[in-house]
Amino acid sequence: MADPVKSEVKTNGVHKTTNGHHTEEELKVAIIGQSNFAAEVLEVLLEREHIVVGVFTIADKGNREDILATTARQHGIPVFKFSAWRRKGVPIPEVLEQYRSVGANLNVLPFCSQFIPMEVIDGAAFGSICYHPSILPLHRGASAISWTLIEGDERAGFSIFWADDGLDTGPILLQKQCPVFGDDTLDTLYKRFLYPEGVTAMAEAVDMIAAGTAPKIPQTEIGASYDPALFREENQYINLNQPAVRIFNFIRGLDSVPGALAIVEMDDGIELPVRLFGASLSARRSMTNAKLIRFKGAVGPAFVTREGIFISGTDGTLVRVKRVKRGNRVIPAGQWFEQSDTKVTPLELSDKEREQDTTLRSIWKSILKVEIEPETDFFACGAGSMDVVRLVEEVKDTLEVPISNETLFMAPMYGEFLQEVILRLRTGGSDPGATIGCDYKHVVLKANRRQISVPTQMFINGRFVDAEGAKTIAIVNPTNEQVICEVAAASKTDVNDAVQAADDAFRGVWSSVSARERGQLMYKLADLMEQHKEELATIESIDSGAVYTLALKTHVGMSIDAWRYYAGWADKIEGTTIPVNPARPNHVLTFTKKEPIGVCALVTPWNYPLMMLSWKMAACIAAGNTVIIKPAQVCPLTALKFAELTVRAGFPAGVINVVTGTGSLAGQALADHPLVRKLGFTGSTPIGKRIMASCAESNIKKCSMELGGKSPLVIFADCDLEKAVRLGMSSVFFNKGENCIAAGRLFVEDRIHDEFVRKVIKGIKTMKIGDPLDRATAHGPQNHLAHFEKLQEYCTIGVKEGATLLYGGKRVPNMKGLFFEPTVFTDVEDHMYIAREESFGPIMIISKFHASDFEALVARANNTEYGLASGVFTKDIQKALLFAEKVEAGTVFVNTYNKTDVAAPFGGFKQSGFGKDLGKEALNEYLKTKCVTVEY
């Protein structure tokens, strides 16, 4: 091999002399290698104006050539592609001839997987330099990066050495090092240091050769190691009979490719090979809710929990494994037993689809700059938002398949992503999620000239699943009191599964979705709700008894409005900078950050099933949280249909979860769960008190409460009486009286009292009561039997205490179903039960007042522990504003009622709860404020 230290090099017309020797020969570089690494080395050498006379790379794979060849061709550099340089250990003459034809006098091998004959290595006048990813002489061999991690080295690095006929034994030209961090893997080391610094160092080495300053430092044998090649399967098996840190290091050393091999001993005696990925040393010392799994050769026990597989080292420390490759499929390790019986058949690819696989793999590789395997995780490799955009756009343009960012979020591993793309290509580009209807247990509702498929299982981690033990509860149609279907009844274990899924999503894929992308997902969901609004309104009518026209306008319409409103807020959640007063001469910057809380639980009532879900969840999701909702036991069907739409909208698995069942079990489990950091509740005050206590005792979780109401509506004699009657009736009878802000007590000035009552009774008699799906119906059935019976009892108490029952108070005669007559009580005194307690039904409670004592009137209106809403009708602006000022209620209506909007905050005072739904203020219920102070 020529000795460059004793040669003169002429680069770009400049003559350089070392050791007094002089030559006119120019530096002519041949690059021998492959991959993005080699391509970038080529680019940098050209930028530094070195002469590259030829590029030698691998043969094409299918119809695609290596990126090094493509890059060279773009610069007009001769490209040679060889499948091999030798045959039976002897150089192939025609290959040697082509190499010699370019007249190279320096060989640069930035990344080369082929064995290059010594006739080539020594055939260049200035020698050959190689890149090796280790600090030579440590870790010689093809798997150097892996062994750096496996051996627990504190430092990693690379060497550029002069090639000789040994195994990475030639003299060193230069070396660079970096620390190995506790969470480093092959990919992180490669991306953080070995790749970018390696490209620069290769160019630096050529510069040194051109300048005649490149050293040749003989490698010492002290500390030298010759490590086994890990591309041989027999070397990939992990020894589980060693301390946890050694197990951890071996797994992360093979984390990208091909994965550490272990053998699981199944209950039936079968030994199942698996590959382990995503290892970390666990601080856990005890395992709860864990199942045992047996690994061959392991001395200590191993466990499966929702968090993954935990393997015991000989020192008692646990190693957590996040992903397992079982056969051809990579699964979350925590789902080992869930998927143990699942037979997943990989797609059989046609010849054309194999070409598409090659194309897709090359796109991933060009972005991630790592070798792509089925288990390669796009985000775990450090990809950012621009990488997502680039990948999606390149795939769309190259393969002409309509995918979106959400496609990648739902399938971040290459094997999953390939399958998703191939399935879309096979189905003409339609979203496979659109066929989710075939995958769950469901009931078909035949009503309203429609056939509507509705899920009957819980929705956890992106899938519809049965409850533990397949336990169910019956759902009854209040219009005819017939069972609609059986719906899953969640256990405490089911709730825990949903919370774990939400926690995994919050810390995983959801954290990779930008605020603006969150908003786009929400807009897409709102559009889907709009497309399916007639179906949703029909389900709401059948399930909860809501009048269809009202369900269409309010239950569903306002739900869609809420999702669109908060979609607009998603990328406008901001902190502030604060002008603090630091001691000089220091400079201090103090700012706040608004951050999502984490896993949030929502427990919603039965009067507006979809709307209450949307009021709370839209703000929760916009703020960046993940969520589990427990809809009302008696009417969960719109929540389950909504879950289906979230899949079609592209929400990642685990972000939105629905658990159905009883409040005493499923709702309580959410309130008690330590991973739930926020609970939003709408319901009765007694249940709210119990939930608050659970929130405090479990983990002092943040909570917001929208509870009972006894909203006063004051009607002065100077009002527009016709409007007051019309809206007064609406304030009580809207949505069958099942309305949290319903006017629980009307105070009517004595001068108009009798006329007001007369007009109300007349209006009631014109209301059509009947099938909620009939477009002419104004008053439908009460939601469920227990509530219906409570209303009957409420009226009995009112009569017993001496109030006058003018109308109603009983079941509608000669009509099947839970139909309760609109009811009017007068002569109601302040001490009476019906004056103090909420009916939550179509019962109007009327009391007289004299206008001479305004203060006494306000005191009567405030004489309740509730403070949700209130209203006043008068043409006197002074009285209206004084009432609004003095009444103790979160919402005040003046000359109107029930007029809510998604932009207006909604919530109560006193025992009606605290916190807000709707409006900008609701976002604060699902955010936490962090203060950051920086001295500079």
Residues with catalytic roles: 132, 706, 740
Nearest to 484 by CA among 460, 452, 530, 526: 452
Separation between Cα atoms, residue 404 and residue 655, nearest integer Å: 18
Q: Is 839 annotated as a binding residue?
A: yes
Q: Is 633 annotated as a binding residue?
A: yes
CB proximity list for 132: less than 8 A, separation 6 or greater: 140, 144, 158, 159, 160, 161, 168
Q: Is 869 annotated as a binding residue?
A: no
Nearest to 665 by CA among 705, 703, 628, 630: 630
- In the numeric block, the tokens 């279907």 are attached to 485
Strand, coil or helix: what is 37? helix
Q: Which amino acid is at 34?
A: Q
Q: Is 664 annotated as a binding residue?
A: yes
Q: Is 789 annotated as a binding residue?
A: no
Separation between Cα atoms, residue 10 and residue 789, nearest integer Å: 101
Q: Is 128 annotated as a binding residue?
A: no
Q: Is 98 annotated as a binding residue?
A: no
* C-alpha to C-alpha distances, 444 to 20, 105, 454, 485, nearest whole angstrom: 93, 77, 6, 9
Nearest to 642 by CA among 788, 747, 540: 540
Q: Is 411 annotated as a binding residue?
A: no
In this structure, the chain runs to a length of: 936
Sheet holding 155-162, edge to edge: 79-82, 51-58, 28-32, 106-109, 128-132, 155-162, 172-179
Q: Is 116 annotated as a binding residue?
A: yes
| Burial readout 384-414 (b: 16 or more C-beta within 10 A, e: otherwise) | eeebbeebbebbeeebebebbbbbbbbbbbb
Q: Is 161 annotated as a binding residue?
A: no
Rounded to 10 deg, the angle between the 385-399 and 351-368 helix axes is 150
Q: Is 711 annotated as a binding residue?
A: no
CB proximity list for 345: less than 8 A, separation 6 or greater: none
Q: Is 663 annotated as a binding residue?
A: yes
Q: Is 176 annotated as a binding residue?
A: no
Q: Is 631 annotated as a binding residue?
A: yes
Q: Is 179 annotated as a binding residue?
A: no
Written as one string, the DSSP assignment of 336-377 is TTTTTT---PPP---HHHHHHHHHHHHHHHHHH-S---TT-B
Phi, psi at 790, each rounded to 5°: -65, -40
* C-alpha to C-alpha distances, 886 to 813, 881, 892, nearest whole angstrom: 43, 9, 10
Q: What share of the chain is helix, strand, coil (3-state, %, to 5)?
A: 35, 25, 40
Q: Is 384 annotated as a binding residue?
A: no
Q: Is 16 annotated as a binding residue?
A: no
Q: Is 177 annotated as a binding residue?
A: no
Q: Is 312 annotated as a binding residue?
A: no
Nearest to 631 by CA among 475, 839, 468, 483: 475
Q: Is 772 annotated as a binding residue?
A: no
* C-alpha to C-alpha distances, 758 to 626, 725, 755, 826, 871, nearest whole angstrom: 52, 10, 5, 11, 21
Prior bond of 258 cis (ω within 30°): yes
Nearest to 35 by CA among 108, 107, 109, 111: 111
Q: Which amino acid is at 386?
A: M
Binding residues: 114-116, 168, 630-633, 663-668, 683-684, 790, 838-840
Annotated binding-site members for (6R)-10-formyltetrahydrofolate = 114-116, 168
Binding site members for NADP(+): 630-633, 663-668, 683-684, 790, 838-840
